[in-house]
Amino acid sequence: MTMVIKQKTMLKKEEATKKKEKSRSSDTSPSVTIYSTPTCPYCTMAKNFLREHQITFFDINVADDQKAAHEMIEKSGQTGVPVIDIDGTIVIGFDQEQVKKLLHLKK
C-alpha cells in the first residue's frame, strides 16, 4: 500500500513539473526593457512603436535613476538613449528593423 501511495505522489509531481515546463514554453512573451529619458524623441518613438504592437515593456528613466544609467552603460557600452533590451539582446538607438526582427513582428 505504501508503494502505491509513493507511486501516485511521484506521478503527481511529474505531472506538475510537465505542466510548469509546458506553461513556460507556451509563454512566448518577450522580456523588453527600454532605457530612456523623457526628452528623447527616439525614446518616445520606440515606446510608441512597442505600444502600437501591443508589446509589454519596462521603461527605465535613466535621467532620474543613476544606478539604472550605470546598468545601461554596462549592458550597451553607450551613454545615449534609447537602449532597448529584448530578451538579453541589446539594441542601441531605435533601430526599428532590428526591434521587429527580435520581436518576430511582420509589419
26 assigned to some structural domain: no
Cell 508503494 belongs to which residue?
3
- pLDDT-based confidence at residue 14 (cuts at 50, 70, 90): low
77 assigned to some structural domain: yes
24 assigned to some structural domain: no
39 assigned to some structural domain: yes
Q: Which domain holds residue 53?
A: 32-103
Question: Mean pLDDT, the chain, as a whole number?
Answer: 84
| pLDDT, position 24 | 40
85 assigned to some structural domain: yes
10 assigned to some structural domain: no
How many domains does the chain fold into?
1
| pLDDT, position 73 | 97
6 assigned to some structural domain: no
Report which of 66, 63, 75 is spatially closest to residue 33, judged by C-alpha positions: 75
Q: Is the pLDDT of residue 1 over 70?
A: no
DSSP 41-89: HHHHHHHHHHHHTT---EEEETTT-HHHHHHHHHHHS--SS-EEEETTE
pLDDT digits (tens, 9 = 90+) for 41-84: 999 999 999 999 999 999 999 999 999 999 999 999 999 999 99
CATH number of the structural domain spanning residue 94: 3.40.30.10
Report which of 50, 48, 44 is spatially closest to residue 32, judged by C-alpha positions: 50
